[in-house]
C-alpha cells in the first residue's frame, strides 16, 4: 500500500514557497505491535503551521527537514497490530500529518463519533480551534457577561467560535474580518453585533463607531496594525488575549505593538496562550460546544478543499484570507 505525504525539504523565509514541501510516495511500513494504521480523511490547515517551520525555540519543536509536515487530522483506523489503543473501524483524530496514512501508537489521538458531528468538525470547532476559542475567551480572556469583545480573524476557525461563545455568554461582540462576505457572515449568520471590514474601511474608525465605550476583551489572531488600533480603545482592566499574529508570521521583522503603554494607562493585561495547556479540560469544552452545536446556538463552518497534491495552494489560503471558517484538506481519495 502506498502513502502520499508532503515532507518539508526547506525552511522558508517569509511566505513559504512551493519548494518548502515535496510530495513523496512511499510504501506504508509494516505495523509493529501496539501500532495501528489510520487512513486520514481530512487534514487540518492552521496558521500555527507557519511557526512550526521555523527552526527556533517555541511551544513545540519545529518540524525537522525531511519529516512529514505536521498537522492535525481525522480519519479511520483500518489496521491494528497486537494490543492497540483503538480498534479497526474506529474514527480518530490526532496529529496525523499531511499524508494519506499514518502509523501510530495513538499518542495524542482520541476517538470521535461521525454520527454525532461531521468528521471535519473534529479538527475544527470540536478540535484544536474550538478548544483554543473556548479556553481563550473564557479562561485567558476572563469573559464577563457585560463585556465588549473585539475579535480579529473573526470569520476564521478560532475567531468565529470566540465571538459566538462570547455572544452566548451575553457579551457585545464586534468582529474584524476581510471583505464584505465575511463581515456579512459573522453578523447575519453568526449573530455578531457588528463587523469591521479591515480590507475596505479604517479599523480605527470602525472600532470607534462600534465600541463607543471601548473594549473589555480583545482576542487577537492577527497582530500588526489591528492590534495597535485595538490597544487605543482598551477600557480599564481590559484583557488582550494573544492567540496568534497571522499578519506577522511571514515577516522577518515583527511589528511590535507601539501602543502598548495603553496597558499601563488602563491597567490592562496582554496574555499569551497555547491550547495544549488545557488538554486536561478538553472534555468539558467539547461537551459544551457539542451541546451548543446541537441546539443550533453555535454554527461551525468548514471550508474543504481536496487532494493532498493541492496542499500548498490550500495552505496559502490561510494567509491570503481566501477561505471562510475552518480550512480543511480532504486527503482520502
| Binding site residues, a second copy, CB under 8 A | 57-59, 223, 228, 242-245, 248, 253-274, 277
Q: Indicate the DSSP class of residue 15.
A: S
Q: From the CB of 212, what's the least distance to a second copy, in Å?
A: 14
Nearest-CA neighbor of 54 among 254, 237, 265, 240? 254
Task: State the minimum distance, in angstroms, from the CB of residue 241 to a second copy.
Answer: 10
- As measured in angstroms, the least distance from the Cβ of 194 to a second copy is 23
Instruction: Give the nearer residue to a second copy in terms of CB position, either 151 or 242.
Output: 242
Q: Which is nearer to a second copy, 66 or 271 (CB)?
A: 271
For the bound state, the minimum distance from the C-beta of residue 270 to a second copy, rounded and expressed in Å, comes to 5
Q: List all residues 6 or more positions away from 71 whose beta carbon is below 8 Å from its beta carbon.
A: 43, 44, 45, 46, 49, 95, 96, 97, 98
Rank residues 169 and 235 by Cβ distance to a second copy and give the closer one. Answer: 235
- Is the Cβ of residue 264 or residue 296 nearer to a second copy in the bound state? 264
**Closest by Cα among 67, 66, 65, 75 to 100:** 75
Cβ proximity to a second copy, 110 vs 260, nearer residue: 260
CA distance 21 to 24: 9
217 in Cβ contact with 194 (< 8 Å): no
Please say which residue, 265 or 287, places its beta carbon nearer to a second copy: 265
Q: What is the largest CA-CA distance in the chain?
A: 63
CB 104 within 8 A of CB 53: no
The residue among 104, 101, 103 whose CA lies nearest residue 4 is: 101
Please enumerate in sequence order all residues whose Cβ is within 8 A of that of 50, keeping only pairs 6 or more positions apart, or say none: 16, 249, 250, 318, 319
Nearest distance in Å: CB 224, a second copy: 10
CB of 239 to a second copy, least distance (A): 9
Nearest Cα neighbor of 249 from 229, 223, 228, 230 is 223
**Closest distance between a second copy and the C-beta of residue 34, in Å?**
32
Question: CA distances (Å), 227 to each of 6, 140, 277, 321, in order?
Answer: 34, 17, 24, 18
- How far is residue 327's CA from residue 44's CA, in Å, rounded to a whole number? 7
Residue with cell 496559502: 316
Q: Which residue, 153 or 257, is less far from a second copy as judged by CB?
A: 257
Which CB atom, from 264 or from 295, has the smaller least distance to a second copy? 264
Query: Taking the complex as a whole, how short is the minimal distance between the CB of residue 282 and a second copy, in angstroms?
Result: 17
Amino acid at each position: 500500500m502506498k502513502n502520499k505525504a508532503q515532507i518539508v525539504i526547506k525552511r522558508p523565509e517569509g511566505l513559504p514557497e512551493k519548494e518548502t514541501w515535496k510530495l513523496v510516495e512511499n510504501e506504508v511500513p509494516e505495523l509493529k505491535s501496539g501500532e495501528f494504521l489510520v487512513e486520514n480523511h481530512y487534514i487540518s490547515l492552521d496558521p500555527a503551521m507557519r511557526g512550526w517551520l521555523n527552526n527556533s525555540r517555541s511551544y513545540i519543536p519545529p518540524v525537522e527537514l525531511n519529516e512529514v509536515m505536521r498537522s492535525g487530522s481525522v480519519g479511520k483506523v483500518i489496521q491494528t497490530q497486537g494490543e492497540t489503543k483503538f480498534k479497526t473501524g474506529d474514527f480518530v483524530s490526532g496529529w496525523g500529518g499531511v499524508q494519506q496514512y499514518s502509523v501510530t501508537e495513538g499518542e495524542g489521538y482520541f476517538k470521535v463519533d461521525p454520527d454525532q458531528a461531521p468528521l471535519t468538525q473534529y479538527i475544527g470547532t470540536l478540535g484544536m480551534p474550538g478548544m483554543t476559542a473556548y479556553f481563550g475567551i473564557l479562561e485567558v480572556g476572563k469573559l464577563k457577561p457585560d463585556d465588549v469583545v473585539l475579535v480579529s480573524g473573526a470569520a476564521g476557525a478560532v475567531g468565529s467560535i470566540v465571538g459566538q461563545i462570547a455572544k452566548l455568554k451575553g457579551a457585545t461582540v464586534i468582529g474584524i474580518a476581510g471583505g464584505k462576505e465575511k463581515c456579512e457572515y459573522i453578523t447575519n449568520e453568526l449573530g455578531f453585533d457588528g463587523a469591521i471590514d479591515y480590507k475596505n474601511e479604517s479599523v480605527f474608525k470602525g472600532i470607534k463607531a462600534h465600541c463607543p465605550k471601548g473594549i473589555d476583551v480583545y482576542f487577537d489572531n492577527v497582530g500588526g496594525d489591528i492590534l495597535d488600533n485595538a490597544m487605543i480603545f482598551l477600557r480599564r482592566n481590559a484583557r488582550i488575549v494573544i492567540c496568534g499574529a497571522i499578519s506577522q508570521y511571514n515577516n522577518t521583522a515583527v511589528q511590535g505593538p507601539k501602543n502598548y503603554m495603553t496597558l499601563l494607562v488602563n491597567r490592562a493585561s496582554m496574555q499569551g496562550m497555547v491550547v495544549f495547556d488545557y488538554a486536561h479540560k478538553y472534555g468539558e469544552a467539547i461537551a459544551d460546544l457539542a451541546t451548543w452545536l446541537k441546539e443550533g446556538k453555535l454554527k461551525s463552518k468548514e471550508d474543504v478543499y481536496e487532494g493532498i497534491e493541492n496542499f500548498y495552494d490550500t495552505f496559502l489560503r490561510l494567509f491570503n484570507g481566501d477561505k471562510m471558517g475552518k480550512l480543511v484538506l480532504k486527503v482520502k481519495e
